[in-house]
Structure 1
């Protein structure tokens, strides 16, 4: 069977990540793989096509994996947050799950990160959902993966899109989210409902901008708070944005990560809601969030809408805010253990291949 992905060469990896001296793979999280050593979890940067766009992804393999080995493994696709890239929190949990015996894939969304596509930073639900489906296409063909045991983890905005993908794509045998974010609801009403009264005005502005771009004007983007001075970013009053500024702008900054999105994207975002059709999810569902997160209402809304599954759990991490679930060791360890148990219960562990006679 012809492969649908290409492994990246060491030279290509080095060129792409020349800005990062600490890690040749560009990974920006504690305990990240820095070299592919025998007997340990390894990272394999790959590229593949998705509707004409070249997607950049990392596949993490367990310590006992080999391309011609005698085992088959369950797999997990990991979808990154809005504005994030695969080298940040998505990579962290992909690596953690590989340490538990799963083959995992974390990919940059189309138009974002190291993936191709113009205009840059286009973030639309239809595209992000298709990106997740494409990850399943790809990982199912990776050596050693049991195509009948693929699951899904979505983080923040990726959690909302993973939730959406699971409604119809039943290749995902179990679905988990971490600090899930309903991007359509927030773009429509504002975070915590603070912009409900301005949606019509903002839609008119987005339509006007689309008209201008159709006539040749440059693409317009929403403000990128990562460009703000440190004192302004850290003075934000909402935990999500203040902590987000610190994580994405300071401690885990990546040159391909941004908080910007196209202004015209609101035209699609305003009529999308992760809760719509949620009753179609009939797979086991685990939704994890910090009990102090100001985004908790978004996770709760999706969880309550998922009435079609008999196996669902909302698991709260005591004391955690939204962004803290991305990196704080005391929270990461709890989340890692919960995810490991959930996926093991529903996917099983690696097993010997059946040899046909």
Structure 2
């Protein structure tokens, strides 16, 4: 958003982690923002005593994961915990970090992007609202495009060959146009 040396910008399945940590996924936790901030502040106080509180545990069975309310969470559980899990990876983060995470939002400075911008998202992805919102706020560039991958959910854009191949072709076309030497 701020580095003029960047000649072109592209995203695939953009995820606004600050918005999600603050508002909840699909803005589902708007009524608990102050409560969660208070919990984060309390956790920061306990850290001074050496008590680090971690959140984000996903102790689910496969059957429980299949019943999660959002495709992002269902697909993410199997992708990050089953098929593509790293032995040292967790979903854990410090509860106190929510104070900083909730304050950050990728949308805040989208208007600063003046370079050509391509944003790729699955057309049925339950995270698409983030891409739609961000590209609307990218008012600093006249050359912007949202490219929708037909039938793709968020996590599928990472690994399903037909989606990855389509995305790679679009990226090659986009960067080929703007990164000519």
TM bin (shorter chain)? over 0.9
Is it true that 1:188 corresponds to 2:22 in the alignment? yes
The structural deviation recorded for 1:348 is 2.2
* 253-262 or 331-340: bigger deviation: 253-262
The secondary structure found in structure 2 opposite 1:254 is coil
Which whole-Å CA distance do the structure 2 matches of 1:327 and 1:207 have between them?
38
- Correspondence for 2:142 among 310, 321, 331: 310
Q: Which residue of 2 aligns with 1:92?
A: none
The secondary structure found in structure 2 opposite 1:308 is coil
More helix by share: 2
The answer to whether the 8 A contact 1:234-1:246 is kept is no
- Correspondence for 2:46 among 212, 219, 223: 212
Which whole-Å CA distance do the structure 1 matches of 2:13 and 2:88 have between them?
22
- Correspondence for 2:9 among 152, 162, 175: 175
Q: Output one character per residue of 1:40-70: Cα deviation in whole Å (capped at 9) or x when no partner.
A: xxxxxxxxxxxxxxxxxxxxxxxxxxxxxxx
Which whole-Å CA distance do the structure 2 matches of 1:336 and 1:224 have between them?
33
Which whole-Å CA distance do the structure 2 matches of 1:344 and 1:331 have between them?
20
Q: Which residue of 2 aligns with 1:256?
A: 88
The structural deviation recorded for 1:172 is 1.4
The structural deviation recorded for 1:324 is 0.5
Which whole-Å CA distance do the structure 1 matches of 2:27 and 2:152 have between them?
22
Q: Output one character per residue of 1:134-183: Cα deviation in whole Å (capped at 9) or x when no partner.
A: xxxxxxxxxxxxxxxxxxxxxxxxxxxxxxxxx11122111100110111
The structural deviation recorded for 1:258 is 2.4
TM-score, normalization: structure 1? Answer: 0.49
- Correspondence for 1:338 among 162, 170, 180: 170
Q: Which residue of 1 aligns with 2:56?
A: 223
Which whole-Å CA distance do the structure 2 matches of 1:231 and 1:291 have between them?
26
The secondary structure found in structure 2 opposite 1:286 is strand
Which whole-Å CA distance do the structure 1 matches of 2:53 and 2:152 have between them?
35
More strand by share: 1
The structural deviation recorded for 1:270 is 1.6
Q: For structure 2, which runs of at least 5 residues remain unmatched after alignment?
A: none
The answer to whether the 8 A contact 1:206-1:264 is kept is yes
- Correspondence for 1:200 among 25, 31, 34: 34
Which whole-Å CA distance do the structure 2 matches of 1:261 and 1:188 have between them?
15
The answer to whether the 8 A contact 1:173-1:284 is kept is yes
Which whole-Å CA distance do the structure 1 matches of 2:55 and 2:177 have between them?
42
Which whole-Å CA distance do the structure 2 matches of 1:257 and 1:174 have between them?
31
Greater RCO, 1 or 2 (C-alpha within 8 Å, sep 6+): 2
The secondary structure found in structure 1 opposite 2:55 is coil
Larger radius of gyration: 1
Q: How many residues align?
A: 181
